[in-house]
Each structure stands twice: as structure tokens, then as C-alpha cells.
């Protein structure tokens, strides 16, 4: 029996990068996956192809997570297709970088809308379904699991990215407060804070050798992360193996949060 057998997962922003990696990893562990995308239908199709190549199953669902009505429809459609939802991975995120003095209201608001409010809209729909259904014993010890994608920048300040770092810091407390409130309903909420993972969002930082070497100065473990590093953790957090893990943020960063600048006496 696979770890996530019979379970239904929604992964937001699953048409590329970390979300794509997580969707594939959850499906390999036995979950049926709703592959959400905003604009890249081709990317979502690639994710589903990879899921099916590995013997898994899924559906594709377009929705902009910053629009509550889109999110509602995505949940309704997934529940219509599969009967319920057991796992939500709140992964969708954007960067809209600018120095603080030049950051427009739009730069600020867009990042907050997607990276923070988007997670709220999705988590609320998921929690309503988890409460409605409750625990199904042969499926999972929990009534549902929510995994919030944060970033090491929920604790490492990031000049030039104040909107992004602020949204991710919000996710840190969002996950903890939700976990505290929803525990008695047997809903688990945890967060993952990746360091530098090779995806499109940070291609400039790892694609050429000079940038990569600069980035590696921030990573004691001396490699840039892969989406599988995050996918494996997401499967564990979604499974009963982590049933006593609640309200935690797990840093998966090759040691980026260990203040590597202090290694040689600061």
C-alpha cells in the first residue's frame, strides 16, 4: 500500500518548478492530484503526463489563487471529480522585485494577493471540506493536511524583495495560527521553507557559473537544491508518518539559514 493511497491532493502552481515536482511526488506516493495552473496549460499537461507515465492519476484545473471565486470553483470541480480533498499544497507564488523606494503599489499588492491571500483562500476551502468529511480511518489519521510553501525569507530579510519577504513571513504565522485553531478538527497544517531550489523563479541565480558560485557561498552544503528535495518532504508531511508534526516550518535549504557568513569567526 502506497503512503498516500486513496487520497486526493490539490497542488497550486503545479505547472512548473517546485509545484510540478510536488505534484509528481504525491502521485508517485499514490495520491490522485489536481494539477492547478494559472496561465501555462502546457506546463500543467507536462505535469500530468509525467504523473501518468509513473502510473499515477490526476486532473488539470485552471484557477488564479488570488481570486476567491476561481479557488471555490477549483475545489468544487475537484470534489465533483474525486469525491473529496485530503491534501492541499499551497505552492503558487510570484516575485515582483523592486527596490523599496521604487516599489509600486501594484508590485506590493500583487505579491501579497498571490503569496499570502491566495494561501488563505485555498486553505479555507480545504479546511471546510476536511471538517465536512472528518477522518476516514483507512485513509489517514488526520481529517486533512495543508502544506504552505514559504521560503527561507520568512526569517532571512531580503532587500529589494520586501513584498516577497513580508508575504512569506506572514505565511510562517498563518500556518502556525491555523494549526493551533484547526488541531481539534484533526487538521494538520505545516509549512516548508525552501532555500535556493533550481526553478524558473531564480534561474538568474544558478544558470551561469559565476552566479552559481556566488549563490553557493550562501549554502553550507554546497549544492543548489532540486525540486525533488522539496517533493520528498511534501510527501512525508502529507503522510501519516508525520502525524504528530503540527504547526511547524521545515527549512530545506542546505544550511542557508545557518548564517554561513559567521563560519570563519564572523
Contact call for residues 107 and 96 (beta carbons, < 8 A): yes
The verdict on 93 binding ligand NAD (CB under 6 A) reads yes
Q: If binding is defined by CB under 6 A, does position 19 make contact with ligand NAD? A: yes
Residue with cell 518532504: 233
Helix (H) or strand (E) holding 141: none
User: Quick one: DSSP state of residue 223?
Assistant: S
- Using rule CB under 6 A, residue 254 touches ligand NAD: no
- Per CB under 6 A, the list member of 18, 29, 234, 250 interacting with ligand NAD is 18
Task: Enumerate residues 145-164 that contact ligand NAD by CB under 6 A.
Answer: 149, 151
Instruction: Report the nearest approach of ligand NAD to the CB of residue 234 (Å).
Output: 11
What is the biggest distance separating any 2 CA atoms in the chain, rounded to whole angstroms? 58
What's the grid cell of residue 145? 493536511
DSSP letter (8 states) at residue 89: E
Looking at the annotation, which residues are catalytic? 164
Determine the size of the site formed for ligand NAD (CB under 6 A). 29
| Closer by beta carbon to ligand NAD, 119 or else 242 | 119
Nearer to ligand NAD (CB atom), residue 143 or residue 206? 206
Question: What is the DSSP track for 111-160?
Answer: HHIIIIIHHHHHHHHHHHHHHHH---TTT-SSSEEEEEE--GGGTS--TT
CB 145 within 8 Å of CB 88: yes
Q: Which of 92, 143, 165, 234 binds ligand NAD (CB under 6 A)?
A: 92
Nearer to ligand NAD, 48 or 143 (CB): 48
211-240: contacts with ligand NAD (CB under 6 A): none
Shortest Cβ distance from residue 27 to ligand NAD (Å)?
Answer: 17
Site for ligand NAD, rule CB under 6 A: 12-13, 15-19, 36-38, 40, 64-66, 91-94, 114, 118, 149, 151, 194, 196-197, 199-202
Amino acid at each position: 500500500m502506497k503512503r498516500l493511497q486513496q487520497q486526493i491532493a490539490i497542488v497550486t502552481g503545479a505547472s512548473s518548478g517546485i509545484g510540478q515536482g510536488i505534484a509528481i511526488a504525491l502521485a508517485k506516493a499514490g495520491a490522485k492530484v489536481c494539477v492547478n495552473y494559472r496561465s501555462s496549460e502546457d506546463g500543467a499537461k507536462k505535469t500530468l503526463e509525467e504523473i501518468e507515465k509513473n502510473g499515477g492519476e490526476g486532473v488539470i484545473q485552471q484557477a488564479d489563487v488570488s481570486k476567491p471565486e476561481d479557488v471555490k470553483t477549483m475545489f468544487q470541480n475537484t470534489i465533483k471529480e474525486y469525491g473529496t480533498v485530503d491534501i492541499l499544497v499551497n505552492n503558487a507564488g510570484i516575485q515582483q522585485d523592486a527596490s523599496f523606494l521604487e516599489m509600486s503599489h501594484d508590485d506590493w499588492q500583487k505579491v501579497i494577493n498571490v503569496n499570502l491571500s491566495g494561501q488563505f483562500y485555498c486553505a479555507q476551502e480545504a479546511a471546510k471540506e476536511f471538517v465536512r468529511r472528518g477522518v476516514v480511518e483507512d485513509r489517514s489519521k488526520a481529517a486533512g493536511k495543508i502544506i504552505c510553501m514559504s521560503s527561507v525569507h520568512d526569517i532571512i530579510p531580503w532587500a529589494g524583495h520586501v513584498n516577497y519577504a513580508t508575504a512569506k513571513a506572514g505565511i510562517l504565522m498563518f500556518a502556525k495560527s491555523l494549526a493551533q485553531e484547526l488541531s481539534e478538527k484533526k487538521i494538520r497544517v505545516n509549512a516548508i521553507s525552501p532555500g535556493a531550489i533550481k526553478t524558473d523563479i531564480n534561474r538568474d541565480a544558478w544558470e551561469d557559473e559565476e552566479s552559481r558560485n556566488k549563490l553557493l557561498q550562501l549554502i553550507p552544503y554546497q549544492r543548489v537544491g532540486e525540486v525533488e528535495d522539496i517533493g520528498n518532504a511534501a510527501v512525508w508531511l502529507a503522510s501519516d508518518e508525520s502525524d504528530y508534526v503540527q504547526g511547524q516550518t521545515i527549512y530545506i535549504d542546505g544550511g542557508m539559514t545557518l548564517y554561513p557568513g559567521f563560519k570563519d569567526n564572523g
